[in-house]
Copies of this chain bind each other. A is one copy, B any other.
Amino acid sequence: MMLRVVTQGAEARAELGRIGQRLADTQAQAEQVREILAQVQQRGDQALVDYTRQFDQQELSPADFLVSGSALDAAYQQVSPELLAAIRLAHKRITEFHQQRVPQTWVQFAPDGMVLGKRYTAVDKAGVYVPGGRAAYPSTVLMNCIPARVAGVERVVMVTPPGAEGAVHPAVLVAAQECGVQEIYRIGGAQAIGALAFGTATIPWVDVVTGPGNVYVTLAKKQVYGRVGIDSLAGPSEVLIIADGTAKANQVAADLLAQAEHDPSAAAILLTTDSTLAQAVAQEVAMQLEHHPRRLLTEKSIAHYGLVVVVESLAQAAELANEFAPEHLELAVAAPWDLLPQIRHAGAIFLGHHTPEALGDYLAGPNHTLPTSGAARFSSALGVETFLKASSIVAASPASLHQLGEAVVVLAQAEGLHSHAESVRLRLEP
């Protein structure tokens, strides 16, 4: 049986620690990415042409980068009516969720005439990275473009590696167009991140770069961070399920495999109070793997980063979950809302037996771009906020300056900043 079952607390902690640190980019990869970014910054489009030949085996000239209007049109003929309807349903639900609680500009007026506030504005330009590779990901398009649109970003640009025949998958092109995004460049990898950060003759530089990718894309995002904003540094995906005896083994097993099938580095963890369920899930996983279309990849993930822990109590499970701070947390227990207050760190929480993570991956509404590798300790899902920024607003009246000025002078002097004090003093002069 491939899925290990662990019953000792110490062993469980050690294993969870190991799995939590499975993301290991190397210094050599970072060097390679540094070189790619430097080339893109110096040589622009020509570097993109060269890297696309090298990494994607496609011969594109800069004029070919942009997906043509006819390819955009044709894409609608190439997806099934069912898929189009599903994309539209997802678009509607994700939009509605992201429209909730968008930060709004505010000012407040103090009695002494001081006006303070925060003014929110959208970034001018956003760049969205959509991975190619193993599959087409229209859901990634929706989850990145919709928050940018809701934020009010005027120009949203997408980059995605060209497929085997040089084309972009029609489902991706349809999803983009449903979000009102038509500017799509067939460039992938670290070089695409470089293009969005520095700009080339063909591809505009942007203010914020979002979207998931492989380790090279992630390292590139880390290196350009500061010059542009980024959503987060995404590692391999992970689910942690807390289940009691009321959970069904086949459903839990499918949920674990739904994570494992993403990537050989994905992690799928079950913490359960029920040792019978633990064994049943392990058996179900083996069974469901037998005819799995991605069996090899999924087995690898389960073998390396799959784990079942039999815990003594749901409280212990919550504690272990908080230490792991999973990207996805399922509470497959009889009373999930009662367990929720014990959870401190998780990217997204799925409550109850009728809420498979897949629902949230596609169209429940919340964003599926979530903090991984323990980053849920300190960060949140991609959201409208990713594409907004606030400017503080301060407008003092003569009265308020007179009331506060002396304290500013005292503090400025304590910090040895002469002109800070002077800038106030000169205004307090009669």
Report which A residues bind B (CB closer than 8 A). Answer: 79, 82-83, 85-87, 89-90, 97, 100-101, 103, 106, 108, 114-116, 118-119, 121, 123-124, 134-139, 171, 207-208, 222, 225-226, 228-229, 233, 248, 250-251, 254-255, 257-258, 260-262, 288, 292-294, 298, 329, 336-337, 340, 343-367, 370-371, 373, 375-381, 383, 385, 389-398, 400-401, 404-405, 407-408, 410-412, 414-424, 426-427
Contact B358 A423 (CB under 8 A): yes
Whether B380 lies near A390 (C-beta < 8 A) is yes
The one of B134, B354, B400 in contact with A398, judged by C-beta atoms closer than 8 angstroms, is B354
Which residues in B have their C-beta under 8 angstroms from that of A336? 395
In the complex, chain B residues whose CB is within 8 Å of the CB of A390: 380-381, 383
Taking CB atoms, residues of chain B closer than 8 Å to A362 are 407-408, 411-412, 420
Residue from B101, B343, B366, B414 within 8 A of A392 (CB atoms): B366
In the complex formed, the residue of B with least CB distance to A250 is B426
Q: Are B358 and A124 in contact (CB under 8 A)?
A: no
Contact (A344, B124) CB under 8 Å given A222-B225, A336-B395, A408-B363: yes
Residue contacts A-B, CB under 8 angstroms, 14 given? A86-B408, A119-B349, A121-B344, A226-B375, A228-B378, A292-B418, A345-B391, A348-B391, A350-B394, A354-B427, A358-B420, A364-B404, A367-B392, A376-B391
Contact at A396–B343, with CB atoms within 8 Å?
A: no
A233 vs B363: C-alpha distance when bound (angstroms):
35
How far, in whole Å, are A381 and B392 apart by their CA atoms in the complex?
8
Contact B392 A360 (CB under 8 A): yes
Q: Are B418 and A364 in contact (CB under 8 A)?
A: no
Chain B residues whose CB sits within 8 angstroms of the CB of A123 once the complex forms = 377-378
Shortest distance from the beta carbon of A155 to any chain B beta carbon, whole Å:
13
| Chain B residue contacts of A419, Cβ below 8 A | 254-255, 257-258, 260-261, 288, 292, 298
Distance of A86 Cα from B409 Cα, bound (Å): 9
Residues of B within 8 A of A100 (CB): 106, 108
In the complex, how many angstroms separate the beta carbon of A41 from the nearest chain B beta carbon?
Answer: 12
A88 CB, nearest partner CB in chain B, Å: 9
Residues of B within 8 A of A426 (CB): 248, 250-251, 254
Q: Do B101 and A118 touch across chains, with their CB atoms under 8 A apart? A: yes
Contacts of A392 in B (CB 8 A): 347-349, 360, 366-367, 370, 381
A115 to chain B, nearest CB (A): 7
Out of B85, B352, B395, B414, name the residue touching A396 (CB < 8 Å).
Answer: B352
Q: Is the CB of A255 within 8 A of B423?
A: yes
Q: Which residue of B lies closest to A393 (CB)?
A: B349
Please give me the residue from chain B that is nearest to A257 by CB atom: B419
Which of A208, A248, A424 has most chain B Cβ within 10 Å? Answer: A424
**Chain B positions within 8 Å of A293 at CB level:** 416, 418
Q: Report the bound CA distance from A248 to B426 in whole Å.
A: 10
Q: Nearest-CB distance from A287 to chain B (Å)?
A: 12
Q: Which of B357, B378, B414 contacts A423 (CB 8 A)?
A: B357
Question: Are the CB atoms of B139 and A351 closer together than 8 Å?
Answer: no
Known: A137-B415, A228-B378. 13 other contacts (CB 8 A): A83-B411, A86-B410, A288-B419, A288-B422, A293-B418, A347-B392, A351-B395, A359-B401, A361-B412, A366-B392, A370-B392, A379-B389, A381-B392
A415–B139 contact, CB under 8 A? yes
A354 adjacent to B83 (CB under 8 Å) = no
Please tell me if the beta carbons of A358 and B134 are within 8 angstroms of each other in the complex.
Answer: no
Contact partner of A418 (CB less than 8 A), chosen from B139, B261, B365, B379, is B261
9 nearest A-B residue pairs (beta carbon): A229-B378, A366-B392, A257-B419, A351-B395, A348-B392, A254-B423, A86-B407, A356-B423, A258-B419
Bound CA span A381–B120, Å = 12
Known interface pairs A116-B97, A423-B357; A394-B377 also in contact (CB < 8 Å):
no
